Amino acid sequence: MEETWRWFGPGDAVQLNHIRQTGARGIVTSLHQIPYGVVWSVEEIEKRKALLAADPSLGLSWSVVESLPVHEKIRRGDPDCAELFENYRISLRNLAACGVKVVCYNFMPVLDWTRTELAHPLPGGGTALRFNMHQYVGFDVFMLERPGAADGLPPELLARAKAWVDSASAEQKEKLLASIMAGLPGAYDRYDIPGLRAILAEYGQMTHADLQANLKRFLQEVIPAAEEAGVRLCMHPDDPPRPLFGLPRIVSREQDIADFLAMVDSPANGLTLCTGSLGAGPQNDLPAITRRFADRIHFAHLRNVAKEADGSFMEADHLGGDVDMVAVVEALLSEQKRRQEQGRADWRIPFRPDHGHELLDDVGKPTHPGYPAIGRMKGLAELRGVMVALAQVKGLPL
């Protein structure tokens, strides 16, 4: 598998020479400086490629776009999206013309990945990302005061959430809001509570079926252009895989994946396998999902989570959580072998070690939440070991 590394551009505290030291050669990056819905020009794409190639001794190349964002108006299903669809198509063509042909994106409305703690303490002084269900409920029910937010929730969870809100200081509440808003680095909108209420109101009473219809419209608009350009789009699953703040999420479980892949049945319409995002859902069997959709997996995020009964979860060691990572990796290597035997030039699946604990000298450094250097390098080394062992024992191609 192709070892890649997420890099957030020139402002990233993890520099390109640091990435080379991890062993990764493929770069996963995005033009975060370009507002959502605006065309990615060939000039801007080539500028990013030139940064990666500035020191040829590093041997780095742009392997995957993560991400080419989908504008909120498209997710919301607004009628006046023709220009946004055309801009997306132009961006795909420009990326392909520059040799970048794997494009990750997501269809999570308003917020992207969501956590309630960005630096949960670990034994020895490290930190991890964490989602505490009682803090999420406390925010949704008692701070955001969203109508209907408490419906159907267990009384003991509501009581714990209320106790947290009542005891939390103003600073703790602000920190919770900032954690929830952290989302995808590069996102332009960060909401205060009134702002979040306003953007949620724009979605009205959107249902799961409504959001699916909006996704199908998007895919029907852009997949033909991706096919023509030789681009493989790959949807990132919901994180966490459950509705948030009254909004549906539609890439949270195995059936959701089957549904969106069937909307436009094309190799250009694929999946980013994120073992952590899907792994946070107790309903998801990651090895089975990997095997079922192997031929449509164009990119993989490999990380692990430890789940709790109330819906809380924490980022775990890459080989130490609830996901059977060895079985997932074996399924991916088996798919690589199938592609290689078909004679495909692009048979290797790019993957990156996703999220990592903040460890050692990285503690306190201004890295993006979840993206310190040492924790991810530790994960990459562990995953590399699994891959080499499976390749030798099972005769699978690396």
Q: Which residues are catalytic?
A: 236, 274, 301, 354-355, 371
Pinpoint the alpha helices (H) of 56-192: 72-76, 82-97, 133-137, 155-167, 170-182
Which DSSP letter does residue 115 get? -
What's the length of the chain?
Answer: 398
By the 8 A CB rule, do 11 and 361 touch?
no
Is residue 363 classed as helix, strand or coil in its secondary structure? coil
Rounded distance, CA 392 to CA 398, Å? 9
Q: Please, which residues have CB within 8 angstroms of residue 239's CB and are 6 or more apart in sequence?
A: 108, 112, 113, 114, 274, 276, 277, 280
Q: At CB < 8 A and 24+ separation, what contacts does 222-226 make?
A: 222/85, 222/88, 222/89, 222/92, 223/264, 223/266, 223/268, 223/269, 225/89, 225/92, 225/93, 226/92, 226/103, 226/266, 226/268, 226/269
Backbone φ, ψ for residue 302 (5° rounding): -110, 110
